[in-house]
């Protein structure tokens, strides 16, 4: 039995005396706000960063081991959030065998183990394929299996399941549960459902770890649930009783609300997407579906990032062609997935008003403060470089940039991805308060859109296979579940 003892760890002003005893075989859920230091703690534990002060030690069967002599990569594995950015190998086999070869195992032995592992994670026959050809869920399973193959005594999942749909998440969880007996696991997450599966809940607050005990019991406390749980607005039960508060924009009304603002007429986008749908002015369409089903492609088609190979897209009744794309993009705005990662302005303020000359930016600044304030972008925050902002702040900057031209259609691709509960709630409230605008909102979690959506589209295999009103979503519960949609 191994125990990882962490004592009085300090790191810059992020961690301020962290203590923890982590036992082999124990599953711990670690929660906390964006920027609270969860990932920093994970990096310290695996040895990617050294603490300013404090001690980490490994106890094996009651005897302490010198930490500087422990092969940390062998003892503690780390699985990150992005399946795409964690693969090393040229092929699936090399990915699975890379660590094993580094352990010094014989090539024949590694080949045998790789075959076993590939079949164990459902990738048998794909050993010679590039990891890039796998879906996000398959890649995450591959990386998790490659780390677990090293038989680490401890495993950290830093939001390792966030980007996965329900089906893919269940598959990775199955892998983790199988390794539970011999591996201590630390799940860094914002998802209380996932956290509920853990043995113990730790919360990182003000640079210190607070032990909240058994997660299910801890979440029964209203205070903790309010802090880390989803907002009440996300509950599907409340949706049925709520009235539709969204108001139609007068401008949109004047463009004839009975006519669709956006229409795909028998469109084909190579083999990626086939659509024959229309969106009316002021509608809120929640688009759900499993990873790789074509949700993002659908939004890209709406803004003209990809053009149809067959059929036509109409915007306000007129065909959208390359000639009118610049004008069309003034009416339609897209908030990309992980928009906060791709801010190209030098500062938050310049990002929102990208493209303006320096003088224009300076002269108009004071008159724009009230608009920026609505997004919580105030004071010095406006002059921060994007990389200095937290995840939630960056997402708000992206939203402010998308809305500053008063677009008539807003397209959003997983705008709450990777955000903590407070940031999620704040951004969700902002989205709910958006009146006078047509919204298409992509997510793999139905709860994100149940509050506001007028209609729900289920996308599978590049097609909208279900189009229903939010009132009757429960009639299609099984279809959503089978598609791997979270709810």
Partner 1 sequence: MTVIGWQGLTLNSLVLLGLVFLSHTPFKLYRSLIVVMIWMGLFYGLAAGWVWPENRAVWQGHWSQEGLLQAIIMLWRVILVFGLTRLFTAVTMPLEQGSGIAYFLNPLIPITPKAADFALLLTLTLRFIPLIIEEATLIWKVRALKGEWPSSWLERSRELIQLIVPLILLSLRRAEELAENLTLRGYASGNYRTLMMHERTSQDRVGAVILGCWIFVLLVLK
Which range binds partner 1 by CB under 8 A, 6-14, 145-153, 212-220, 420-428?
A: 145-153
> Which tokens hold the place of 19?
């203590």
Cβ proximity to partner 1: between 45 and 456 the closer is: 45
Residues 40-69 binding partner 1 (CB under 8 A) are 46-48
156, β-bridge pairs: 78, 186
Yes or no: say if 484 and 165 are a contact pair by the CB < 8 Å rule: yes
* Minimum distance from residue 203 beta carbon to partner 1 (Å): 26
Note whether 406 binds partner 1 by CB under 8 A: no
Token pair 């869920």 is at which residue? 137
Residue 323 neighbours by CB under 8 Å, 6+ apart? none
Note whether 114 binds partner 1 by CB under 8 A: yes
- Applying CB under 8 A, which of residues 84, 124, 247, 477 lies at the interface with partner 1? 84
Yes or no: say if 13 and 208 are a contact pair by the CB < 8 Å rule: no
Which range binds partner 1 by CB under 8 A, 100-108, 177-185, 276-284, 427-435?
A: 100-108
* Minimum distance from residue 111 beta carbon to partner 1 (Å): 6
- Applying CB under 8 A, which of residues 342, 369, 467, 471 lies at the interface with partner 1? 342
Measured from the Cβ of residue 394, the count of other Cβ atoms closer than 10 Å reads 25
Yes or no: say if 337 and 414 are a contact pair by the CB < 8 Å rule: yes
Note whether 94 binds partner 1 by CB under 8 A: yes
Give kind and range of the element (H or E) at residue 27. Answer: strand 27-31
Note whether 388 binds partner 1 by CB under 8 A: no
Beta strands in 189-346 (DSSP E): 200-205, 208-213, 260-269, 273-275, 278-280, 284-288, 310-315, 318-319, 332-335
Note whether 370 binds partner 1 by CB under 8 A: no
Note whether 281 binds partner 1 by CB under 8 A: no
- C-alpha 298/C-alpha 3 separation (Å) is 49
- Applying CB under 8 A, which of residues 60, 103, 173, 175 lies at the interface with partner 1? 103
- C-alpha 322/C-alpha 315 separation (Å) is 13
Site string for partner 1, 291-310 (x = CB under 8 A): ------------x-x-----
Note whether 20 binds partner 1 by CB under 8 A: no
* Dihedral sign for Cα atoms in the order 112, 115, 117, 120: negative
Rule CB under 8 A: which residues touch partner 1?
Answer: 46-48, 71, 73-74, 77-78, 80, 84-91, 93-94, 97-99, 101-103, 107, 110-111, 114-115, 127-128, 130, 132, 146-147, 150, 303, 305, 326, 329-330, 333-334, 336, 341-344, 346, 354-355, 387, 401
């Amino acid at each position: 039995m191994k125990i990882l003892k962490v004592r009085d760890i300090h790191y810059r002003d992020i961690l301020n005396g962290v203590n923890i005893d982590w036992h082999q075989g124990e599953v711990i859920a670690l929660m906390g706000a964006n920027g609270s230091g969860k990932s920093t703690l994970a990096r310290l534990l695996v040895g990617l960063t050294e603490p300013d002060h404090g001690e980490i030690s490994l106890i094996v069967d009651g005897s302490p081991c010198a930490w500087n002599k422990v092969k940390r990569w062998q003892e503690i594995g780390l699985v990150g959030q992005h399946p795409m950015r964690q693969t090393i190998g040229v092929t699936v086999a090399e990915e699975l065998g890379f660590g094993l070869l580094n352990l010094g195992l014989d090539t024949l032995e590694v080949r045998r183990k790789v075959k076993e592992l590939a079949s164990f994670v459902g990738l048998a026959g794909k050993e010679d394929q590039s990891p890039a050809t796998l879906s996000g869920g398959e890649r995450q399973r591959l990386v998790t299996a490659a780390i677990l193959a090293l038989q680490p005594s401890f495993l950290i999942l830093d939001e390792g399941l966030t980007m996965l749909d329900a089906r893919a998440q269940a598959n990775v969880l199955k892998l983790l549960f199988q390794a539970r007996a011999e591996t201590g696991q630390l799940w860094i997450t914002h998802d209380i459902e996932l956290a509920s599966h853990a043995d113990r809940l730790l919360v990182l607050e003000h640079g210190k770890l607070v032990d909240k005990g058994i997660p299910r019991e801890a979440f029964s406390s209203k205070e903790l649930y309010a802090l880390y749980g989803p907002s009440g607005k996300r509950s599907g039960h409340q949706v049925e009783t709520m009235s539709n508060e969204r108001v139609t924009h007068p401008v949109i009304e004047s463009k004839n609300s009975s006519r669709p603002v956006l229409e795909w007429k028998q469109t084909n986008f190579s083999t990626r997407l086939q659509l024959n749908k229309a969106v009316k002015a002021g509608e809120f369409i929640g688009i759900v579906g499993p990873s790789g089903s074509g949700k993002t492609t659908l939004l890209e088609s709406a803004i003209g990032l990809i053009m149809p190979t067959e059929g036509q897209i109409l915007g306000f009744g007129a065909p959208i062609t390359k000639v009118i794309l610049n004008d069309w993009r003034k009416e339609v705005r897209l908030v990309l997935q992980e928009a906060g990662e791709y801010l190209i302005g030098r500062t938050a303020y310049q990002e929102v008003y990208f493209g303006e000359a320096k003088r224009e930016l300076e002269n108009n600044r004071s008159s724009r403060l009230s608009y920026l304030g609505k997004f919580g972008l105030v004071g010095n925050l406006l002059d921060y470089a994007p990389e200095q902002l937290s995840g939630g702040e960056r997402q708000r900057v992206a939203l402010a940039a998308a809305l500053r031209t008063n677009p008539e259609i807003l397209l959003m691709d997983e705008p709450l991805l990777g955000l903590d509960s407070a940031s999620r709630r704040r951004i969700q409230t902002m989205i709910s308060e958006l009146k006078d605008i047509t919204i298409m909102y992509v997510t793999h979690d139905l709860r994100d859109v149940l509050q506001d959506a007028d209609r729900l589209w289920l996308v599978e295999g590049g097609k909208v296979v279900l189009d229903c009103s939010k009132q009757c979503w429960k009639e299609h519960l099984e279809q959503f579940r089978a598609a791997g949609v979270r709810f």
